[in-house]
């Protein structure tokens, strides 16, 4: 097919709009856990790729935390050279099928797209997904193994950050061991993001790709317990990357929070996504969901919990302490959730939970909040309004107000500098910790953030680790 | 994969596995636990470590076949492989010379209590061990307990063996001074022992391996109120001050998935053992 054909078919006005993503209808998808966004067909991908203006000085690429050569891969699509297109992406990004689905492109590459000034930007994410899915259907090409450097590297945590660092370091010829605490690799991609946004089979295919680069994956290894960081150094690892994420749930601290029926977002997500509780009793791990679920929080995790609850048959409302404008979740996720029937209650916060005679949550007392002045980051403060308490009837509450890093590694690594406020590991811009040869990045260093920012950190750290391994910058830092 | 080196029937539906896991064996200490997944897609079950052999590279754990997953686990035999064993998890017990220690183990958790007794004995303590069980048929490892202890008491709920119930501890504690008490067993038993030791001022440590999923600080299912603090059984524990633990809240939380657990257990029994409680075959 001629690359420019779709461009001729559509007039200028039509080119201002992107090719819509085919999706399952809301009334249908709320009854299943299948993927909501169905992906571009080849025809759609060609039409969308043809919208790329092939700028001399492409801005999109500057917005990508993992430096994907965006114009090149889009150009390959327009030429129908899909295998070369995916190779272009994989030169920088080991997880394109994941990024094409869950990256907030609207705040990154697409935000910079020149087309976006007048209409919709080129939908780079959907094109990336198209190529990744094309490759999966047509067979993944194994990469050539580089010559070994003889250096050994340990990566802790097989989430997006660790997988990225592992693949970059393996491509550079280092011997990489990837330690994962859970019984499957993927981290938040497996336990956190639900099946209908990111099918788990796809995550496992990406993990297999990383393994095909020569990475030795060790499941069920909780570093800090089975081996500590100093012990890994003694075992002969020349450098270590800590990408253990932010897995420790935060709580509201309100009285009654330990009643039955109150879940942390993590518990809820682990049961449903990782352990497939939505298939219970076909699967072994159960989940108890009531008729009226309240999700506390306003981020993507809160949206995921709400959308899962609706699929499990509950009526769901989301209680967020600020207003709609401040919702940290992606716009697309909020729209998806509301289409599926989510009711949002803004400007209120929980103060106490009350249970029935069996110790199960029955009522959540809330107080109304009002917005104050924006702070230096532009985020409005909120303050409770006096004597504004009201009660919400509920039988299931999901607390989705954020996560902090798991403290096990920090507690078992003498001298590792951490932020006393939230337990994050202190690193420089390239992920160096204060310990020689020990690097960290992703949520464990930043606190809970996005998949792609964790991948970007893994990429930068891999570069710095390579430098450390090859140029032996031992002793540079105290 | 983790190969089962030996399988031992301790009592009816009480089973002990010794598993080949050299890396875990090298680090395992008394008081720690494992997460065991029998097959792909199976539940993550937290089980206390009962023994470790660093030379042979094996670890042991015991379980009561009470739910679907543990019943299924009970069908595994010597030579079979387990899908995943993660560990050691949790903080090890505080083992040092305290003086005279009362070491109480209950039900299937008698098995890990003996590892604690052994470690405490090796640290130079005078160890008095209490084996608490439902009835005589559920008593096991008494001879082993006698090896590691200066004295052993047996107690059963129905009085078929040893003392009837745990109330005899009141007499024991009023006659003798203990410097520490460690308890590992059913939550209700740990609660009772803590209530008994409190007026005597014996520092009491309970081991809480309650309902966990990940066992490494992610899910928060194992949260427990100790004093005025919310702590995680897996990361901060599993051992806590028995006099400051809110047992009632814990008992309540342990029940939260009971109907679901019963359902899956009944379905399993129906399918694999050809019986269910409705009376029909």
**Whole-angstrom Cα distance, residue B96 to residue B138?**
31
**Which of 188-247 (B) contact A at CB < 8 A?**
213-214, 216-221, 223-225, 230, 232, 235
Tokens, residue A393: 């009837």
Q: Is B237 within a domain?
A: no
- In this structure, the answer to whether residues B104 and B172 fall within a common structural domain is yes
**Inter-chain contact A258–B230, Cβ cutoff 8 Å?**
yes
B260/A contact by beta carbon, under 8 A: yes
3-state SS, one letter per residue, for B91-111: CCCCCCCCCEEEEEEEHHHHH
- In this structure, the answer to whether residues A330 and A382 fall within a common structural domain is yes
- In this structure, the answer to whether residues B57 and B106 fall within a common structural domain is no
Report how many domains make up chain A: 3
- In this structure, the answer to whether residues A113 and A207 fall within a common structural domain is no
User: Among residues A73, A106, A138, which one ends one of the domains?
Assistant: A138
**Whole-angstrom Cα distance, residue B85 to residue B69?**
14
**Inter-chain contact A225–B261, Cβ cutoff 8 Å?**
no
Q: Is B239 within a domain?
A: no
Block residue for tokens 């050809």 = B274
Q: Is A144 within a domain?
A: no
**Closest Cα partner for B190 from B175, B169, B173?**
B169
Residue B260 Cα, gap to closest chain A Cα (Å): 6
Q: Which residues of chain A neighbour B217 with C-beta distances below 8 Å?
A: 247-248, 406-408
Q: Is B266 within a domain?
A: no
The answer to whether ipTM exceeds 0.85 is: yes
A281/B contact by beta carbon, under 8 A: yes
- In this structure, the answer to whether residues B104 and B69 fall within a common structural domain is no
**Inter-chain contact A251–B220, Cβ cutoff 8 Å?**
yes
* Predicted pLDDT at A478: 35
Given a contact cutoff of 8 angstroms between Cβ atoms, the answer to whether B15 and B8 are in contact is yes
- In this structure, the answer to whether residues A184 and A90 fall within a common structural domain is no
A235/B contact by beta carbon, under 8 A: no
Domain span at residue B178 reads 100-207
**Inter-chain contact A280–B84, Cβ cutoff 8 Å?**
no
Q: Is A203 within a domain?
A: yes
**Inter-chain contact B86–A270, Cβ cutoff 8 Å?**
no
Q: Is A118 within a domain?
A: yes
- In this structure, the answer to whether residues A335 and A361 fall within a common structural domain is yes
User: Among residues A381, A401, A421, which one ends one of the domains?
Assistant: A401
**Inter-chain contact A222–B256, Cβ cutoff 8 Å?**
no
**Inter-chain contact A267–B221, Cβ cutoff 8 Å?**
yes
Going by C-beta distance under 8 Å and a sequence separation of 6 or more, which residues neighbour residue A231?
none
Q: Nearest-5° angle of CA B251, CA B252, CA B257?
A: 105
Question: CA distances (Å), A70 to each of A62, A74, A87, A124, A472, in order?
Answer: 10, 6, 12, 8, 34
- In this structure, the answer to whether residues B121 and B173 fall within a common structural domain is yes
Residue B42 Cα, gap to closest chain A Cα (Å): 6
Q: Is B134 within a domain?
A: yes
Q: Is A476 within a domain?
A: no
Residue B204 Cα, gap to closest chain A Cα (Å): 24
- DSSP annotation of A360 reads B
Q: Is B41 within a domain?
A: yes
Give me the tens of pLDDT residue by residue for chain B, a chain 281 residues long. 899 999 999 999 999 999 999 999 999 999 999 999 999 989 999 999 999 999 999 999 999 998 889 999 999 999 999 999 999 999 999 999 999 999 999 999 999 999 999 999 999 999 999 999 999 999 999 999 999 999 999 999 999 999 999 999 999 999 999 999 999 999 999 999 999 999 999 999 999 976 677 788 888 888 999 999 999 888 898 999 999 999 998 888 888 888 888 888 888 888 887 765 554 44
B59/A contact by beta carbon, under 8 A: no
Predicted structure pTM score: 0.91
User: Among residues A373, A401, A429, which one ends one of the domains?
Assistant: A401
Q: Nearest-5° angle of CA A169, CA A170, CA A173?
A: 95
- In this structure, the answer to whether residues B84 and B6 fall within a common structural domain is yes
Q: Which of B70, B87, B88, B214 to mutate to probe the A interface, most A CBs <10 Å?
A: B214
CATH number at residue B21: 2.40.30.10
User: Among residues B89, B124, B152, which one ends one of the domains?
Assistant: B89
- In this structure, the answer to whether residues A264 and A361 fall within a common structural domain is yes
- In this structure, the answer to whether residues A86 and A194 fall within a common structural domain is no
Q: Which of A201, A218, A286 to mutate to probe the B interface, most B CBs <10 Å?
A: A286
Q: Is B36 within a domain?
A: yes
- A364, β-bridge pairs: A353, A392
Q: Is A107 within a domain?
A: yes
User: Among residues B56, B89, B122, which one ends one of the domains?
Assistant: B89
Q: Is A257 within a domain?
A: yes
User: Among residues B141, B175, B207, which one ends one of the domains?
Assistant: B207
CATH number at residue A351: 3.50.50.60
- In this structure, the answer to whether residues B74 and B9 fall within a common structural domain is yes
Residue B114 Cα, gap to closest chain A Cα (Å): 22
A288/B contact by beta carbon, under 8 A: yes
CA distance between the termini of chain A: 59
CA distance between the termini of chain B: 36
- In this structure, the answer to whether residues A383 and A260 fall within a common structural domain is yes
- In this structure, the answer to whether residues A84 and A132 fall within a common structural domain is yes
B272/A contact by beta carbon, under 8 A: no
- In this structure, the answer to whether residues A258 and A397 fall within a common structural domain is yes
Residue B89 Cα, gap to closest chain A Cα (Å): 6
Report how many domains make up chain B: 2
Q: Which residues of chain A neighbour B247 with C-beta distances below 8 Å?
A: none
- In this structure, the answer to whether residues A94 and A231 fall within a common structural domain is no
pLDDT tens digits, B100-110 = 999 999 999 99
- A404, β-bridge pairs: A248
Q: Is A349 within a domain?
A: yes
- In this structure, the answer to whether residues B45 and B138 fall within a common structural domain is no
Phi first, then psi: what are they for A280, rounded to 5°? -60, 140
* Predicted pLDDT at B234: 87
Going by C-beta distance under 8 Å and a sequence separation of 6 or more, which residues neighbour residue A427?
A433, A439, A440, A441, A445
Bridging pattern class, strands B14-20 and B2-11: antiparallel
CATH number at residue B168: 3.40.50.80
Bridging pattern class, strands B223-226 and B151-156: unpaired
- In this structure, the answer to whether residues A274 and A395 fall within a common structural domain is yes
Q: What is the count of residue pairs from A and B with beta carbons less than 8 Å apart?
A: 122
Give me the tens of pLDDT residue by residue for chain A, a chain 478 residues long. 444 444 444 556 678 899 999 999 999 999 999 999 999 999 999 999 999 999 999 999 999 999 999 999 999 999 999 999 999 999 999 999 999 999 999 999 999 999 999 899 999 999 999 999 999 999 877 777 889 999 999 999 999 999 999 999 999 999 999 999 999 999 999 999 999 999 999 999 999 999 999 999 999 999 999 999 999 999 999 999 999 999 899 999 999 999 999 999 999 999 999 999 888 888 888 898 999 999 999 999 999 999 999 999 999 999 999 999 999 999 989 999 999 999 999 999 999 999 999 899 999 999 999 998 888 877 888 999 999 999 999 999 999 999 999 999 999 999 999 999 889 999 999 999 999 999 999 999 999 899 999 999 999 999 999 999 998 754 444 3
Q: Which of B46, B220, B236, B266 to mutate to probe the A interface, most A CBs <10 Å?
A: B220
Q: Is B244 within a domain?
A: no
Q: Is A303 within a domain?
A: yes
Domain span at residue A420 reads 152-247+404-471
- In this structure, the answer to whether residues A394 and A420 fall within a common structural domain is no
Q: Which residues of chain A neighbour B232 with C-beta distances below 8 Å?
A: 248
């Amino acid at each position: 097919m001629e690359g420019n054909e779709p461009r001729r078919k559509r007039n200028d006005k039509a080119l201002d709009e992107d090719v819509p993503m085919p999706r399952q209808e809301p009334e249908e998808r709320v009854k299943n856990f299948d993927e909501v966004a169905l992906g571009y067909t080849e025809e759609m991908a060609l039409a969308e790729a043809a919208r790329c203006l092939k700028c001399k000085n492409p801005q999109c690429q500057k917005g990508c935390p993992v430096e994907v050569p965006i114009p090149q891969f889009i150009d390959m699509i327009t030429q129908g050279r899909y295998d070369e297109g995916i190779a272009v992406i994989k030169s920088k990004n080991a997880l394109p099928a994941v990024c094409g689905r869950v990256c907030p492109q609207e705040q990154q590459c697409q935000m910079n797209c020149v087309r976006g000034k007048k209409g919709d930007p080129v939908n780079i994410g959907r094109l990336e997904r198209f190529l990744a899915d094309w490759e999966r259907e047509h067979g993944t090409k194994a990469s050539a193994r580089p010559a070994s450097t003889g250096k050994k590297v340990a990566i802790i945590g097989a989430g997006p950050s660790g997988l990225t660092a592992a693949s970059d370091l393996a491509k550079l010829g280092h011997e990489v061991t990837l330690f994962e605490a859970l019984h499957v690799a993927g981290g938040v991609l497996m336990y956190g993001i639900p099946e209908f946004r990111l099918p788990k089979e796809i995550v496992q295919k990406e993990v297999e790709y990383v393994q095909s680069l020569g990475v030795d994956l060790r499941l069920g290894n909780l570093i800090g317990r089975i081996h500590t960081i100093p012990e890994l150094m003694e075992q002969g690892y020349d450098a270590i990357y800590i990408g253990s994420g932010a897995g420790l749930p935060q709580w509201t601290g309100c009285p009654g929070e330990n009643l039955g029926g109150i879940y942390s977002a993590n518990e809820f997500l682990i049961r449903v996504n990782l352990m497939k509780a939505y298939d219970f009793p076909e699967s072994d791990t159960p989940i108890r969901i009531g008729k009226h679920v309240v999700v506390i929080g306003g981020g993507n995790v809160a949206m995921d919990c709400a959308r899962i609850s609706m699929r499990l048959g509950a009526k769901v409302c989301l209680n967020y302490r600020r207003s709609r404008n401040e919702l940290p979740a992606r716009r697309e996720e909020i729209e998806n959730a509301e289409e599926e029937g989510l009711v949002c209650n803004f400007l209120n916060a929980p103060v106490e939970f009350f249970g029935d005679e069996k110790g199960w949550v029955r009522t959540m007392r809330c107080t109304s909040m009002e917005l104050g002045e924006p702070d230096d980051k532009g985020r409005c403060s909120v303050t409770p309004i006096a004597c504004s308490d009201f009660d919400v009837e509920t039988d299931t509450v999901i607390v989705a107000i954020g996560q902090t890093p798991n403290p096990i590694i920090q507690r078992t690594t003498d001298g590792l500098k951490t932020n006393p406020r939230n337990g994050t590991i202190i690193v420089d811009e390239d992920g160096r910790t204060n310990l020689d040869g020990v690097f960290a990045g992703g949520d464990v260093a930043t606190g809970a953030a996005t998949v792609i920012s964790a991948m970007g950190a893994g990429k930068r750290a891999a570069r710095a680790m390579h430098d450390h391994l090859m140029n032996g910058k031992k002793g540079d830092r105290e | 994969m983790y190969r089962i080196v030996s399988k031992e029937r301790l009592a009816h539906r009480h089973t002990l596995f010794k598993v080949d896991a050299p890396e875990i064996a090298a680090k395992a200490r008394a008081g720690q636990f494992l997460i065991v997944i029998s097959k792909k897609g199976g539940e993550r079950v937290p089980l206390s470590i009962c023994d470790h052999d660093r030379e042979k590279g094996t670890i042991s754990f015991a379980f009561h076949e009470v739910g679907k997953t543990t019943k299924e686990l009970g069908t595994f035999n010597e030579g079979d492989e387990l899908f995943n064993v993660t560990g050691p998890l949790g903080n090890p017990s505080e083992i040092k010379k305290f003086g005279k220690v009362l070491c109480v183990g209950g039900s299937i958790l008698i098995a890990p209590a003996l590892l604690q007794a052994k470690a405490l004995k090796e640290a130079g303590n005078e160890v008095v061990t209490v084996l608490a069980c439902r009835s005589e048929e559920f008593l096991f490892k008494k001879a082993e307990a006698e090896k590691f202890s200066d004295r052993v008491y047996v107690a059963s709920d129905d009085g078929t063996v040893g003392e009837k119930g745990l109330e005899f501890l009141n007499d024991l504690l009023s006659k003798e001074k203990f410097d520490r008490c460690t308890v590992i067993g059913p939550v209700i038993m740990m609660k009772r022992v803590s209530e008994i030791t409190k007026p005597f001022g014996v520092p009491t440590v309970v081991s809480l391996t309650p309902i966990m999923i990940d066992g490494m600080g992610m899910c928060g299912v194992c949260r427990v109120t100790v004093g005025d603090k919310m702590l995680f059984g897996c990361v901060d524990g599993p051992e806590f001050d028995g006099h400051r633990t809110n047992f009632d809240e814990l008992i309540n939380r342990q029940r939260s998935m009971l109907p679901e657990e019963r359902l899956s257990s009944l379905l399993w029994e129906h399918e694999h053992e050809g019986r269910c409680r409705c009376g029909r075959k």
